[in-house]
Chain A
Amino acid sequence: LAKTTQPISMDSYEGQEVNITCSHNNIATNDYITWYQQFPSQGPRFIIQGYKTKVTNEVASLFIPADRKSSTLSLPRVSLSDTAVYYCLVGDRNNNNDMRFGAGTRLTVKP
């Protein structure tokens, strides 16, 4: 199972763009990169998944360079409600049990 490294915490202000980078130097050919968000007293919630280049949805963008050894979750114009823990996971999405959670990045958005 590929391991990931993320910053423990980040601070931002309302309206700013936030970029959280995850390192996964040992990513395998079949591995995808998945990000989850977790609010206090709730279970994690899927945000986005990608394999290479760029993926965008209504919540975030995911940038993956050609070597795939890192990825960046981009949250546009954050609000106070984006304060949460963000987890980066890598694993083979065709294997139902190939992804593990690390400690995540605690994002605090300030007014």
Chain B
Amino acid sequence: GAGVSQTPSNKVTEKGKYVELRCDPISGHTALYWYRQSLGQGPEFLIYFQGTGAADDSGLPNDRFFAVRPEGSVSTLKIQRTERGDSAVYLCASRLAGGNEQFFGPGTRLTVL
């Protein structure tokens, strides 16, 4: 079956611009996670959804970052007024209720010039 997909695969933007990153989880997976990964580091937790609601957004670095999952499936990570320090790979993962593992997408590489 189809895995987790993320679009775009690459995004280049200018400092100060707004970006949206999309995640399509595996069908039926109720849990969805966003991570950010910088070069040479492990994935850094950003936010976790259970269904439509953000159950834990403690990893969002500041109020420029926001994520939604309005119908409990597709999620969008939104970054306002991008800064060069936001450059990273943004990973999305989904998990089946009661499952042991998170299934990751290939990530979106964001570059802020």
What is A's interface to B at a CB cutoff of 8 Å?
32, 34, 41-46, 49, 85, 87, 93, 96-97, 100-104
Contacts and interface: CB of A to CB of B under 8 A. Distances in A.
15 contacts: A41-B106, A42-B107, A43-B104, A45-B104, A46-B100, A46-B101, A49-B100, A49-B101, A87-B42, A97-B48, A100-B45, A101-B35, A101-B45, A103-B41, A104-B42
B interface bracket (residues with beta carbon within 8 Å of A):
20 to 34
Given A101-B35, A104-B42, A93 B93 contact: no
Contacts of B31: 96-97
B102 interface: yes
Contact of B42 (A32, A45, A46, A101): A101
A93 B98 CA distance: 8
A3 B109 CA distance: 28
Given A87-B42, A96-B31, A97-B55, A42 B106 contact: yes
Contacts of B33: 97
Q: Which 4 A-B pairs give the minimum distances between C-beta atoms?
A: A43-B104, A46-B101, A101-B42, A97-B48
A43 B106 contact: yes
Contacts of A85: 42
Contacts of A42: 104, 106-107
B43 interface: yes
Given A43-B106, A101-B35, 10 more contacts: A34-B100, A41-B106, A41-B107, A42-B104, A44-B104, A85-B42, A96-B31, A101-B43, A101-B44, A101-B45
Contacts of A101: 35, 42-45
A46 B105 CA distance: 12
B22 interface: no
Contacts of A32: 100
